[in-house]
Amino acid sequence: MLAPVLHVLPLTTIVRERVLPVAGKVNASVNQKVNPTDVVAEATFAREHVLLDVARAFGVTAKAADKMIKVKEGDRLSQGAVVAENGGFISRAIKAPRAGRVMVAGGGQVLMEVGEARIELRAGLPGVVTRIVPERGVVIRTVGALIQGTWGNGRVENGLMTSLIEKEDDVLTADRLDVSLRGSVILGGHVRDQETLRAAADMPVRGLIISSLNVSLIQPAMQMKYPILVLDGFGAMPMNSAAFQLLPTHNKNEVTVNAEFPDRYSGGRPEVVIPKQVENEPEEPQDFVPFAVGQRVRLRRSPHTGMIGSIADLPEGLSKLPSGLHAPAAEVKLENGEAALVPLVNLEVVG
Amino acid sequence: MPTSLVQNESILAIEVGSATTRAVLFDVVEGQYRFVAAGRAPSTAEAPFRDIGIGVREAISSLQEVTGGRLLGQDGNLIAPSQPDGSGVDSAVATISAGPIVRTVIVGLLPDVSIGSARHLAESTYSRVVETLDLSDHRKPDQQLDAILRARPDLVILTGGTDGGASRSMMKMLETVGLACYLMPQQKRPMALYAGNRELAGDVQELLGEHAGMLKISHNVRPALDEEDATSASGELAALFVNLRQRQLKGVDELNLWTGGNILPTSYAQGRMVRFLSRQYESTRGLLSVNIGASATTVAAGFGGDLVLRTYPQFGLGENLSGLLQHTDLESIMRWLPLDISPNTLREYLFQKSLYPGTLPATSDDQAIAQAIARQVMYLAVRAARRSFPVGGQASRDVLPSLDLIVAGGGAVSDGLSLGQSLLMLLDAIQPVGILPILIDQNNLLPLLGVAAARNNYLPVQVIDSGAFIGLGTVVSVSASAKYGEQILRAKMTYSDGTDARVDLKFGGLEVLPLSSGQTARLSLQPLQRADAGLGPGRSGSVTVTGGAMGVVIDGRGRPLQLPSDPVRRRETIKKWYYTVGG
């Protein structure tokens, strides 16, 4: 059976595709170095449309109205520009109510898109552009530490990371956030109250990387303007030891927090990237591998959610679990010395 | 005895769910189709795999381990047809429920008429209605256009107008939908189903044919104001759903090749089977099937060949669990728990499970929480679907009509549970009334039989007759207005050998009388205090009942089921009920 891999790696090669949701213009070129906040592609899209019913306004057939329409598809119009004119003895005109672009003209009607909005696509990580996705975005390659999480509030930022975590089950509280941390990315433990999120916003910080989040704070976290990346999940959970051993060692390093909202179909997931300069580029990590004895694994469900262990045995066939279920399972030796029989679907390989 | 139309054809049936992929082998044994074996594997539609083919091959490999036969070639492809050395299968069929929720826009004329029918169609598959356009909508056409674009639909269902009826208003809305499709990027244009006034079919083709991702035109779902016939529209919708999944999920194309196009949405296949069975067994009062899965809970009910099919992704046990509290509250889930846990623990459980939908409960406490949630989602789904059932003489829409049979499937109702626990879950969640048998579809065969029926008409009947489902037994549900502990029924069961068993049922109690599978007995019922044991309020009588794994179960807990309000007493009562059905 294949196992999903949670990447918690001190040094690896990271390749990520960044694309716009709609077609637009790519600003970067192949081999260009980019920073996380660089805009690599941009697009404009219409927030609204205006339908001008020329035939109805002039009281004529659609065919007759088409002859009165003075604009064509693709025309950019300023507010008040003439869209159609009936050309009678006392000529009447239909004018563009707002500036915009003609999308369709025909059938006695004109459809304009108005209220253009702009989308800017940021690189999201520092690196080198290796490929252009025409009209959509880029593929970026970088080398560094990679730490993946389970949930993010959809924001991206980079900055110097300050570690405020001393043990895995630390709680990050508002009183630990002082003015000296302004502009930092904070590494903390569990966040249990809204006051902490607000205090971080007031600083402001450039991001929070935390072990876990009180489930009632999901909505407030979505409202925050800075990235919040949750490593292990919801509820009072300690930081998994793999992340705890790696992240604090990069205290005061420049980190990129891509608190991408997890998307199970596109594969997007929140991650921290800490760029490093190396002579020899390491291999790209695999996203899934077959289960094997000796693998380091993270448990994804109670009673040991977030804990790290290693596979001691992979019994053949189905194992009977204490829940009464029969499922393929692994004997896992947890870091606290306990042993547990865990369904394979509750495990992800750390690597 | 009927013989198969396609002689000795082995059929591999694959179900691609959002959490689990199953591979099931049907073959001819002694001249009759039988369920041979099943294999399963975690589904791989989602990241990091993002190819359903990986899970399909693993499920088939698991099936190979069970049967010892070889179904996959060295190249990883399905061996079909079967080979002289015994490897391979003659044909394959599949159902699919995996994939993201289908964002659906419904368009029609009258909110209570055509929009109602469009909503029923949307609810027959794995969709969520994200925008509605109808005559009561006073937005300007350009505002409606923007609303459709913002909704980012995967599917548009258009209904409205009786055949030969209104067309002008419908045409306006069609133009708006056509414009919206035209403005969307080519690869994101929605699938469209038109099931309205047939006289507009040509205009629909002209307006939407080139701009929709794919357009299907079916018979009018509302040929007359007082008539709804979704048969043709449901079939076309099923085809659109599979096409949508081909566009969204890697591996569906390959499965389509393997099955020669015999892929159906799982819920549609379940509904097809329920309709068939309700005709086959001439069910007059109704046959109810509930399937609870990670993608959705599906309720299919057949009433003399008429089908009510409702699919509720919001009541799925997978990624949508994080949104469950929009439809219910924590207390309503906790009422089913024999454990004392905090509301916040339950809330965390829902959100954590939605992050990892494929995970399984490893401990008994975890399993108890999972079962409580399953009870509540099944309860909500059956209550929601019940609104479309015939009234059935019940005063309250909260109480089900009397039915002929219940068949339940899905891992949550069978995996890791004793048969008694499964039965108790169904009694708690469905709360049937009257006297009826209950079956468990342990291998989730019902949808697969529905899709396999396309290959061979005899297969479903022969497989069901061979005992592929587990008969839990006959349930007698007693409705009464009484105080807890008051006697409401005297029952005597007389076995075929002349011996008997008697029981005095108290309100709030649950009694089990042993009666083995395949055996019948005569059950005399004497209700007290105008209680209704399925024969009418206060009416006594005798009925012949069939046995099952749990025998005959008499449920005196009231309809709707009454649970003690005190949490400690409630948990003790729940444990007592568990004990009664065998722990």
In order, the DSSP letters of B505-554 are: EETTEEEEE---TT-EEEEEEEESTT-BSSSSBT--EEEEEE--TT-EEE
Quote the mean pLDDT of chain B.
Answer: 94
Tokens 């998307």, located at residue: A263
Q: Could B146 and A287 be called an inter-chain contact, meaning their C-beta atoms sit closer than 8 Å?
A: no
- pLDDT (0 to 100) of residue A91: 85
What pTM did the predictor assign? 0.94
Nearest to A158 by CA among A31, A246, A250: A250
pLDDT at B105: 98
Q: Given this structure, which CATH class describes domain B11-98?
A: alpha beta
- Number of Cβ atoms within 10 Å of the Cβ of B231: 12
Residues in A touching B349 (Cβ below 8 Å): 302
Number of neighbouring beta carbons within 10 Å of residue B365: 17
Report d(CA A270, CA A272) in Å as an integer.
7
What is d(CA A351, CA A244) in angstroms, rounded to the nearest whole number?
14
Here the tokens at position A43 are: 């697009």
pLDDT of residue B373: 98
Rounded average pLDDT over B226-236:
93
Say whether B567 sits in a helix, a strand or coil.
Answer: helix
Among residues of chain B, what percentage have pLDDT more than 90?
88
To the nearest whole number, what is the mean pLDDT of chain A?
A: 95
pLDDT in tens, A158-169: 999 999 999 999
The amino acid present at B371, given as its one-letter code, is Q
Q: Using CA atoms, how far apart are residues A323 and B362, in angstroms rounded to an integer? A: 5
Position B396 scores a pLDDT of: 65
Judged on CB neighbours under 10 Å (0-12, 13-18, 19+), B155 is buried
CB distance A303 to B367 below 8 Å: no
β-bridge mates for residue B146, sequence order: none
| CATH code assigned to B102-248 | 3.40.50.2300
- Reported as type and span, the H/E element at residue B334 is helix B330-334
Show me where the domains of chain A are located.
2-14+143-275, 45-117, 291-350
For tokens 């965390």, the residue is B348
For domain A291-350, give its CATH number from 1.10.3720.10, 3.40.50.2300, 2.30.30.30, 3.40.190.10.
2.30.30.30
B141–A303: do the CB atoms touch at under 8 Å?
no
Q: Which of A265, A288, A304 to mutate to test the interface with B (most CBs of B within 10 A)?
A: A265
pLDDT in tens, B493-516: 999 999 999 999 999 999 999 999
Please name the member of B42, B49, B355 whose beta carbon is closest to the beta carbon of A233.
B355
Q: What pLDDT was estimated at residue A298? A: 98
| Residues A336, A342: Cα–Cα separation, whole Å | 15
Summarised one tens digit per residue, pLDDT across range A80-117 is 999 999 887 778 999 999 999 999 999 999 999 999 88
Q: Which residues on chain B are in Cβ contact (under 8 Å) with A342?
A: 362
CATH 3.30.420.480 intervals, chain B: 11-98
Rg (chain B; Cα; Å): 25
Who contacts B2 (Cβ-Cβ below 8 Å, separation ≥6)? B458, B461
Residue A78's pLDDT is: 96
Q: Residue holding tokens 């029923």? A: B120
Name the phi and psi angles at A63, rounded to 5: -65, -45
Q: Which of B61, B187, B359, B422 to mutate to test the interface with A (most CBs of A within 10 A)?
A: B359
Q: How far is CA B235 from CA B242, B266, B457, in A?
A: 11, 13, 18
Q: Which residue has the higher pLDDT, A268 or B13?
A: B13
C-alpha to C-alpha distance for B1 and B292, rounded to whole angstroms: 34
Residue B6 has pLDDT above 90, yes or no: no
Q: Which residues make up the CATH 3.40.50.2300 domain(s) of chain B?
A: 102-248
Per-residue pLDDT at B392 exceeds 80: no
Query: For residues B234 and B120, what is the distance between their CA atoms, to the nearest angstrom?
Result: 10
With CA atoms as reference, report the closest residue to B446 among B301, B266, B252.
B266
A:B CB pairs within 8 Å = 142
SS3 state of residue A258: strand
Q: Give residue-wise pLDDT tens across range B108-166.
A: 999 989 999 999 999 999 999 999 999 999 999 999 999 999 999 999 999 998 888 87
The DSSP secondary structure of B263-313, one letter per residue, reads EEEHHHHHHHHHHHHHHHTT-SS-EEEEEE-SS-EEEEEEETTEEEEEEEG
* Beta-carbon count within 10 A of A313 CB: 12
pLDDT of residue B394: 56
- A23/B185 CB distance under 8 A: yes
Residue B577 has pLDDT above 90, yes or no: yes
Asked whether the CA dihedral B363, B365, B368, B370 is positive or negative, the reply is negative
**Min CA distance, B103 vs chain A (Å)?**
15
Q: Where are the beta strands (DSSP E) in B43-168?
A: 91-96, 102-107, 127-133, 155-158
Give me the mean pLDDT over the A21-36 stretch: 94
Chain A residue numbers touching B183 (CB-CB < 8 A): 49, 103
B434 Cα to chain A: minimum distance (Å): 32
The reported pLDDT for the residue numbered B583 is 74
- Per DSSP, the residues of A122-142 read E--S-EEEEEEETTTEEEEEE
Our measurement of the distance from residue A335's CA atom to the centroid of its chain's CA atoms, rounded to an integer in Å, reads 31
Q: pLDDT by residue (tens digit) across B302-320?
A: 998 899 999 999 999 999 9
Selecting from A215, A235, A346 the residue whose C-beta is nearest the C-beta of B360 gives A346
Q: Is the pLDDT of residue B1 over 50?
A: no
Structure tokens at B138: 């006073």
Measured between alpha carbons, how far is B102 from B295 in angstroms, rounded to an integer?
A: 11
Task: Report d(CA A188, CA B97) in Å as an integer.
Answer: 39
Q: What is the mean pLDDT of residues B348-357?
A: 95
Average pLDDT of the segment spanning A143-152: 97
Q: How does DSSP classify residue A111?
A: E
CB distance B359–A215 less than 8 Å?
A: no
Chain B, nearest residue to A115 by Cα: B146
Least Cα distance to B530 among B482, B563, B493, B491 occurs for: B482
Nearest to residue B128, comparing CAs of B147, B108, B103, B97?
B103
Q: What is the mean pLDDT of residues B365-389?
A: 96
Measured between beta carbons, which residues in chain B are less than 8 angstroms from residue A16? none
In chain B, which residues have their Cβ closer than 8 Å to the Cβ of A4? 47-49
pLDDT value at residue A124: 86
Interface ipTM above 0.85: yes
CATH of the structural domain A45-117, one choice from 3.40.50, 1.10.3420, 2.60.40, 2.40.50:
2.40.50
- Give the list of residues 6+ apart from residue A151 with CB closer than 8 angstroms, or none: A213, A229, A230, A233, A234, A261, A262, A270, B355
Query: What is the reported pLDDT for B280?
Result: 84
Testing the interface with B: which of A15, A264, A288, A332 to mutate, by most B Cβ within 10 A? A264
- Residue B176: closest C-alpha in chain A: A51
Mean pLDDT of A223-233: 97
In this predicted model, what pLDDT tens digit does every residue of A273-312 receive, in sequence order?
Answer: 999 999 999 999 999 999 999 999 999 999 999 999 999 9
Distances B97 to A228, B22, B201, B235, B487 between C-alpha atoms, Å: 33, 12, 30, 16, 46
**Which residues of chain A are within 8 Å of residue B47 when distances are taken between CB atoms?**
4, 263-269, 287
Residue B397, pLDDT score: 65
The number of residues in chain A equals 351
Instruction: Specify the amino acid at residue B219.
Output: H
Tell me the C-alpha to C-alpha distance, in Å, between residue B437 and each of A218, B39, B288, B394, B532: 45, 28, 11, 20, 17
Q: Do the bridges between strand A109-122 and strand B102-107 make them parallel or antiparallel, or are there none, so unpaired?
A: unpaired
Do B103 and B152 form a contact (C-beta atoms < 8 A)?
Answer: yes
| For residue A15, pLDDT beyond 80 | yes
Within 10 angstroms of residue A202's Cβ, the number of other Cβ atoms is: 12
Query: Does residue B457 have a pLDDT over 70?
Result: yes
Q: Can you say whether the dihedral through the CA atoms of B541, B542, B547, B551 is positive or negative?
A: positive
Report d(CA B95, CA B450) in Å as an integer.
9
- H-helix or E-strand spanning residue B4: none
Out of 1.20.120.1760, 3.50.30.10, 3.40.50.2000, 3.30.43.10, select the CATH number for domain A2-14+143-275: 3.50.30.10
In whole angstroms, give the CA distance from residue B236 to residue B240.
6
Sign of the C-alpha dihedral computed for residues A283, A288, A294 and A300 taken in this order: positive
- Tokens 């975890």 belong to residue: B366
A309-327 average pLDDT score: 95
* Residues A206 and A158: beta-carbon distance below 8 Å: yes
| Chain-chain contact of B362 with A301 (C-beta, under 8 angstroms) | yes
**β-pairing, B91-96 with B263-265?**
parallel
User: Which chain A residues are within 8 Å of B58, Cβ to Cβ?
Assistant: 1-2
For A107, left (φ over 0), alpha (ψ -120 to 50), or beta? left
